[in-house]
Structures are given as structure tokens and as C-alpha cells.
Structure 1
Amino acid sequence: MKPIRTCIIAGLLGLAASAMAEPPAGEASRSTPVLPAWEQLDQAQRDTLMQPVRDRWNASPEARQRMLRHAERWQQMTPEQRTRARQGMKRWEDMSPERRAEARVLYQHMRQLPEGEREALRARWKTMSADERQRWLETHRPRE
């Protein structure tokens, strides 16, 4: 499931594309379009941006609390933290299903560890061979 911010970013990219395709009358096209502030968007543009969020909100009542927490957390992030989060989302989207499964196992295990042990495992993980990582994952995979 894509995060809310991905949907909003996609909407903004759509606005950017339309702004680049149709420069205002009498004005030459620019290499970088200047997008308006939210308050300057008309209602149709706002609806276009918000529709994916509205659809997800209505389709998943059980996920609403999580969606709201994510949006609130996003608002508290610094620009650098948001950049890192976007990079992490991109990395996740580019992973194969197998790599995602491995990442989930590692994450679930690491979140239970104290900070010192977590850092030690991160350092050890970087030095492990592919076979060693696979054995570690098999040992620590949750039993269903």
C-alpha cells in the first residue's frame, strides 16, 4: 500500500506536467514550472490531489489511524528527514518481493533489540556473505 505522501507527490507531479504543457497565454514556457501554493489552487486541482487519499481513507477504515499517524509524523519531520524518507520509500519500491520479505524479517528482529545490540547487528549484517545472511534469515524468520 502506498503511503499518503506518495499519492500527494503523484498529484503534484501531475500538476507540474499540466503546467509545463500549457504555459499561460503570452508567456514563454519555462524550464522549471512554478507551481502555486495550495491556497492558489482551484477546487478541481485540490480535488485531483486529494482523491487518492480520500479513496484510500474510505476503502480502509482499519488503516485510518495509521494513515493519520503517518501524516502527523510527516508534518513533524525536517526537510532532511523527509528526503531520507522519500529515498527509503524509493528503495523499498525498487526491491524485489524476496528482498522485501528479508527486510521485514530483519526489521522485526531489530526493533526488539536494545540500541547497542541493534547497531552491532547492523555492522555484522554489512560484513555477512549472502549465504550467512540467508542462514540468519532462516533462523530468525517468524514461525507461522
Structure 2
Amino acid sequence: MIRRRLWLTLLLLLLAAPALAQQRPAPATPAPAKWEQLSPAERDVLIAPIRDRWNNADADQRKRMLDHARRWTTMTPEQRAAAHKGMRRWDHLTPDQRDQARELFERMRSMPQDERRALKDKWHDMTPEQRKAWLDAHPPKD
């Protein structure tokens, strides 16, 4: 029985060998150039969306954008990764879920700092079921 399986395995390998031999690894694409190596036109293509967003923003939005950029430069790689994760999660929320998140953010922001910290600590200790129960008991205000 073992001998038969061994022969069957060898036969399958021999039959698959030509197909495997034809598969070549994809040629390695060169890494994108460093910023300093980009042409002015390439840099402009990258910056244009931010320039347009900046020019269309009012003074408060510009201040907030600049504050965010400054804060980003002080973040650790782990903090940046967490921020990216949050941005990806936000992108996948429905409009209703985004409204609920904004309401929760405003409610948390209006809480005294010690209460806010206690709630955050409590939240991190909760199981997913406990979090759902808490959210059901504390729905966002309309």
C-alpha cells in the first residue's frame, strides 16, 4: 500500500514537472525611486491632490490639516500603523456607522478626562459581547 502511494506520488510529480518547469518567477520590478530621484512632474502628480484639498479648505480645515501633519511626524511606527488601521476601518463603515462613531466621539470628548480614561480602560477589558451590550444600552443620540 505504501509502495503504491509512493509510486503514485512520483508519477504525479513527473507529470507535473513540465508545467512546473514552465512557471518562471515574475521578473522583479525595481523599487520606486526615492523622493529626491523623482522628476518635478512626478512630484507634482503626487502632491496635486493635497494641494487641491488645501486650496479648497477654509482656515479651520487648513489649521487642522497642518496640526495632523505635525502630529504624524511625532508618531512612532506603531502609532502610525494603528492610525492606518483606523483609517481603513473608517473607509469600510456605512454612513450610519460613521454618524454613530462621530456621535460617540463627541460624547467622549465632552466627558471629563478621568471619566473618559476610566471608560476607555473598561472598554478594553470588555469582551465583544459585553461591548455590544454596552452599545445597545447606550445608543447614540439622534
For this structure pair, what is the TM-score category when the shorter chain's length is used for normalisation? Answer: 0.5 to 0.7
Write the deviation string for residues 30-78 of structure 1: whole angstroms up to 9, x where unpaired. 16x4122111111111001000001101111331111111111111111
**Partner-residue secondary structure (3-state), 1:111:** helix
Using a 3 Å threshold, how does the CA distance of structure 1 residues 136 and 37 change in structure 2: closer, same or farther?
same
**Partner-residue secondary structure (3-state), 1:29:** coil
**Partner-residue secondary structure (3-state), 1:137:** coil
1:95 corresponds, among 88, 93, 96, to 93
RMSD: 2.4
Partner of residue 61, structure 1: 58
Question: In structure 2, how many angstroms separate the alpha carbons of the residues matched to 1:67 and 1:107?
Answer: 19
Letter in 1 for 2:116: R
Letter in 1 for 2:67: R
Write the deviation string for residues 11-38 of structure 1: whole angstroms up to 9, x where unpaired. xxxxxxxxxxxxxxxxx8316x412211
In the superposition, the TM-score normalised over structure 2's length comes to 0.66
In terms of mean alpha carbon deviation, does 63-72 or 111-120 score higher? 111-120
**Structure 1 residue runs without a partner (length 5+):** 1-27
Percent sequence identity is 43
Poorly superposed stretches of 4+, deviation over 6 Å = none
Question: In structure 2, how many angstroms separate the alpha carbons of the residues matched to 1:74 and 1:47?
Answer: 22
In the superposition, the TM-score normalised over structure 1's length comes to 0.65
Question: In structure 2, how many angstroms separate the alpha carbons of the residues matched to 1:128 and 1:82?
Answer: 25
**Structure 2 residue runs without a partner (length 5+):** 1-25
| CA apart distance, 1:133 | 2.2
2:102 corresponds, among 101, 104, 119, to 104
| CA apart distance, 1:135 | 4.7
Partner of residue 4, structure 1: none
Letter in 1 for 2:52: D
Larger radius of gyration: 2
Question: In structure 2, how many angstroms separate the alpha carbons of the residues matched to 1:64 and 1:115?
Answer: 27
Which fold has the larger relative contact order, with Cα–Cα distance below 8 Å and residues 6 or more apart in sequence? 1
